[in-house]
């Protein structure tokens, strides 16, 4: 660990803190339907889209209608991705002549992208045509991100409204998020990325003759436009197999810093949106603080572990940290920071191979995902995930003093707590359940790349990442098999929608309640005690759920590594 390394981490945190409030203000205006500086250009387009699609932007929806609209929207998204993947051989923009993608892989990828997971069982440059990258993947990168944000806004409205039957209009929220937030940032961001060196072309793969006379085929494509949204929308699905470690997806230290910032940007700003909409920005900053504490703890451990290197490297006299599976331009610090950022948020892009991290360094990304990706989290998903934990924490606080708990003016009652528990319990059911199957079913066991406890961690990581809709991997695991394509798809589906529906039920039930003014007995939710309580609840629930599984994977591997064992 070096001083300059810590300075890079501090710089990253400082920029995120500085951007949270201004972007939060802008996004609040967008969700409230107010005029923004982009309205003169975008409002006519927006109105035209509503007219053409038959959307009445003044009509609001009940939470159930809102949720059903969201589900219908995803059925269509699924069909588009599945269709273009199966038909890519006969569709245009296919200069590399990629053949039709297999049924199970297409199914897995379609589920993966509508759930904002972007798990890569496909190898971008070796499997997909440019049309699939654009029409299949880039489009769903936008829409699954916009959906996550819309749902979070609907949930915030549940807290901020009183005695109302509606939580907003899904079609309006998705359209406004796409047009006013995601697209404008992506246009500027894409040009920045191309300037840094990311290709943006529809031309053929390049045939080069190297200095030593060998042939090298260099895959290119419309990369920058996809990388911009895959980071900003915390999607994470790469244009290339190596994702953001590929020099064409992340060419410089500057592009790397900006990519990390863009992963956190919207998720961080959503905490401010929450504060503004419930009428007290300090409520937002308290949630931001909970996330910040957990994030920094993760960064410290991963950076320490990776800078320390592995026992086998020490034995050979190698210093300078664990560089296996890392790029020189990022080095130890930017690779460690990226790994924590991408798993704290539900992005899943990687700029280093997590499979080759040290046991403890790789355990932090795993824990981040198992905590439900509430540390900033996926765009929107992070906030509604965190609000579920807040509901539980407030409930626990209420039990301690024997009062009906309340949060930002709303009573938290049995229905909300049951729904929050349902959403939180469904996640371990998926990743622990499928991991148990994955380590005994013979066809699945054959997919492990590493032996010993590391192989177990590969399987646990895969199902955790899928359930959490993250998409990063211990990529040694061969995921493109019938077993993994189907089981991972089921984990992604349940992890996304079985969390959304209870969250929306909470939103609907809260919106209908009266708002009660704070009294002397109200637990203050803007101070250090509240932050500590929420952090405690997250760690206790998380720890009780997955500590036994971690003990069999990274923890025993760290002990084995210290003892000099190899497998």
Interatomic CA distance for residues 300 and 525, integer angstroms = 27
User: Rule CB under 8 A: is residue 560 a binding residue for another protein?
Assistant: yes
Of 310, 467, 485, 526, which one interacts with another protein (CB under 8 A)? 310
Going residue by residue from 344 to 373, which x/- string records binding to another protein, judged by CB under 8 A? ------xxxx-xxxxx--x-----------
Of 174, 459, 492, 501, which one interacts with another protein (CB under 8 A)? 174
**Do the beta carbons of residue 339 and residue 41 sit within 8 Å?**
no
User: Rule CB under 8 A: is residue 197 a binding residue for another protein?
Assistant: yes
Q: Which two tokens stand for residue 455?
A: 């192989």
Inter-residue long-range contacts of 417-422, CB under 8 Å, 24+ positions, other chains counted: 417/391, 417/392, 419/502, 419/503, 419/505, 419/506, 419/509, 420/388, 420/389, 420/391, 420/392, 420/395, 420/502, 420/506, 421/392, 422/498, 422/502
Instruction: Supply the DSSP string of 492-551, one letter for each residue.
Output: HHHHHHHHHHHHHHHHHHHHTSPP----TTSPPSSSHHHHHHHHHHHHHHHHHHHHHHHI
User: Rule CB under 8 A: is residue 252 a binding residue for another protein?
Assistant: yes
Give backbone dihedrals phi and psi of 252, rounded to 5 degrees, phi first.
-135, 170
Interacting residues with another protein between 382 and 441 (CB under 8 A): none
User: Rule CB under 8 A: is residue 183 a binding residue for another protein?
Assistant: yes
Report in angstroms how near the CB of residue 151 gets to another protein at its nearest: 16
Could you tell me which stretch among 207-215, 280-288, 430-438, 499-507 binds another protein (CB under 8 A)? 207-215
User: Rule CB under 8 A: is residue 302 a binding residue for another protein?
Assistant: no
Q: Which is nearer to another protein, 196 or 522 (CB)?
A: 196
Q: Which is nearer to another protein, 23 or 219 (CB)?
A: 219
Report in angstroms how near the CB of residue 8 gets to another protein at its nearest: 6
**Do the beta carbons of residue 302 and residue 311 sit within 8 Å?**
no
Of 173, 406, 416, 557, which one interacts with another protein (CB under 8 A)? 557
Q: Which is nearer to another protein, 191 or 429 (CB)?
A: 191
Residues 6+ apart with CB under 8 A from 148: 116, 234, 378, 379, 380, 381
Interatomic CA distance for residues 433 and 429, integer angstroms = 5
Of 199, 380, 468, 508, which one interacts with another protein (CB under 8 A)? 199
Interacting residues with another protein between 457 and 476 (CB under 8 A): 457, 474-476
C-alpha of 394 from chain center = 25
Going residue by residue from 28 to 67, which x/- string records binding to another protein, judged by CB under 8 A? ---------------------x--xxxx---------x--
User: Rule CB under 8 A: is residue 553 a binding residue for another protein?
Assistant: no
User: Rule CB under 8 A: is residue 443 a binding residue for another protein?
Assistant: no
Q: Which is nearer to another protein, 121 or 283 (CB)?
A: 121
- Tell me if residue 219 falls in helix, strand or coil: coil
Q: Which is nearer to another protein, 91 or 396 (CB)?
A: 91
User: Rule CB under 8 A: is residue 552 a binding residue for another protein?
Assistant: no
Interatomic CA distance for residues 463 and 461, integer angstroms = 6
Of 26, 304, 329, 552, which one interacts with another protein (CB under 8 A)? 329
Q: Which is nearer to another protein, 318 or 445 (CB)?
A: 318
**Do the beta carbons of residue 366 and residue 460 sit within 8 Å?**
yes
**Nearest Cα to Cα of residue 407 among 423, 389, 422:** 389
User: Rule CB under 8 A: is residue 190 a binding residue for another protein?
Assistant: yes
- Tell me if residue 222 falls in helix, strand or coil: strand
Residues 6+ apart with CB under 8 A from 15: 261
Report in angstroms how near the CB of residue 396 gets to another protein at its nearest: 37
Q: Which is nearer to another protein, 327 or 406 (CB)?
A: 327
Going residue by residue from 208 to 247, which x/- string records binding to another protein, judged by CB under 8 A? xxxxx-x-xxxxx-x-xxx--x----------xxx--xxx
**Nearest Cα to Cα of residue 502 among 385, 339, 365, 331:** 385
Of 40, 97, 317, 442, which one interacts with another protein (CB under 8 A)? 317
**Do the beta carbons of residue 160 and residue 278 sit within 8 Å?**
yes
Q: Which is nearer to another protein, 307 or 423 (CB)?
A: 307
User: Rule CB under 8 A: is residue 201 a binding residue for another protein?
Assistant: yes
Secondary structure of 366-427 in HEC code, one letter for each residue = HHHHHCCCCCCCCCCHHHHHHHHHHHHHHHHHHHHHCCCCEECCEECCHHHHHHHHHHHHHH
Q: Residue 130 pairs with which residues in a beta bridge? A: none
User: Rule CB under 8 A: is residue 524 a binding residue for another protein?
Assistant: no
**What percent helix, strand, coil does the chain show, rounded to 5?**
65, 5, 30
Could you tell me which stretch among 19-27, 453-461, 495-503, 526-534 binds another protein (CB under 8 A)? 453-461
Interatomic CA distance for residues 523 and 413, integer angstroms = 15
Of 320, 524, 536, 543, which one interacts with another protein (CB under 8 A)? 320
Could you tell me which stretch among 30-38, 284-292, 320-328, 438-446 binds another protein (CB under 8 A)? 320-328
Interacting residues with another protein between 81 and 140 (CB under 8 A): 123, 125-126, 134-136, 138-139
């Amino acid at each position: 660990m070096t001083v300059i390394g810590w300075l890079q981490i501090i710089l990253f945190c400082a920029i995120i803190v500085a951007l949270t409030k201004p972007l939060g203000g802008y996004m609040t205006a967008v969700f409230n339907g107010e005029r923004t500086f982009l309205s003169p250009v975008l409002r006519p387009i927006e109105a035209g889209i509503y007219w053409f699609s038959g959307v009445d932007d003044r009509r609001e929806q009940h939470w159930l209608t809102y949720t059903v609209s969201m589900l219908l929207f995803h059925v269509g998204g699924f069909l588009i991705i599945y269709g273009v993947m199966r038909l890519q051989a006969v569709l245009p923009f296919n200069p590399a002549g990629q053949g039709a993608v297999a049924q199970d892989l297409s199914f897995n990828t379609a589920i993966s992208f509508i759930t904002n997971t972007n798990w890569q069982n496909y190898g971008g440059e070796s499997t997909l045509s440019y049309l699939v990258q654009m029409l299949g993947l880039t489009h769903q990168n936008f829409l699954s991100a916009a959906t996550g944000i819309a749902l979070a806004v609907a949930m915030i409205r549940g807290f901020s409204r009183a005695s109302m039957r509606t939580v907003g209009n899904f079609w309006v929220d998705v359209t406004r998020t796409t047009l006013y937030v995601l697209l404008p940032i992506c246009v500027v961001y894409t040009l920045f990325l191309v300037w840094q060196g990311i290709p943006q072309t529809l031309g053929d793969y390049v045939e080069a003759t190297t200095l030593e006379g060998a042939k090298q085929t260099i895959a290119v494509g419309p990369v920058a436009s996809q990388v911009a949204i895959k980071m900003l929308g915390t999607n994470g699905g790469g244009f290339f197999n190596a994702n953001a470690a590929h020099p064409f997806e992340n060419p410089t230290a500057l592009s790397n810093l900006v990519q990390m910032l863009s992963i956190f940007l919207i998720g961080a700003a959503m905490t401010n949106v929450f504060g503004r909409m419930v009428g007290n920005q300090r409520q937002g900053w308290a949630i931001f603080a909970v996330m910040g504490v957990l994030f920094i703890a993760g960064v410290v451990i991963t950076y320490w572990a990776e800078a320390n290197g592995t026992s086998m490297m020490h034995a050979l006299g190698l210093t300078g940290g664990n560089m296996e599976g890392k790029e020189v331009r990022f080095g130890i610090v930017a690779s460690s920071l990226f790994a924590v950022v991408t798993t704290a948020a539900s992005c899943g892009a990687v700029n280093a191979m997590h499979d080759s991290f040290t046991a403890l360094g790789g355990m932090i990304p795993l824990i981040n995902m198992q905590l439900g990706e509430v540390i900033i989290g996926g765009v929107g998903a992070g906030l509604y995930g965190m609000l579920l934990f807040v509901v539980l924490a407030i409930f626990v606080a209420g039990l301690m003093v024997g009062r009906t708990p309340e949060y930002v003016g709303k009573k938290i009652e049995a229905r909300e707590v049951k729904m929050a528990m349902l959403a939180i319990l469904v996640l371990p059911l998926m990743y622990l359940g499928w991991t148990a199957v994955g380590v005994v079913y013979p066809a699945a066991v054959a997919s492990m790349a590493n032996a010993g406890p590391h192989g177990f961690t590969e399987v646990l990581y895969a199902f955790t990442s899928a359930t959490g809709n993250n998409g990063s991997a211990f990529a040694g695991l061969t995921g493109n098999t019938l077993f993994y394509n189907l089981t991972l798809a089921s984990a992604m589906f349940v992890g996304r929608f079985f969390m959304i529906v209870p969250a929306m039920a909470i939103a609907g039930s809260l919106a209908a309640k009266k708002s009660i003014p704070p009294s002397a007995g109200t637990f203050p939710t803007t101070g250090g005690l509240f932050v500590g309580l929420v952090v405690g609840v997250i760690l206790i629930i998380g720890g009780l759920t997955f500590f036994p599984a971690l003990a069999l994977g990274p923890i025993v591997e760290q002990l084995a590594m210290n003892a000099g064992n190899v497998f």
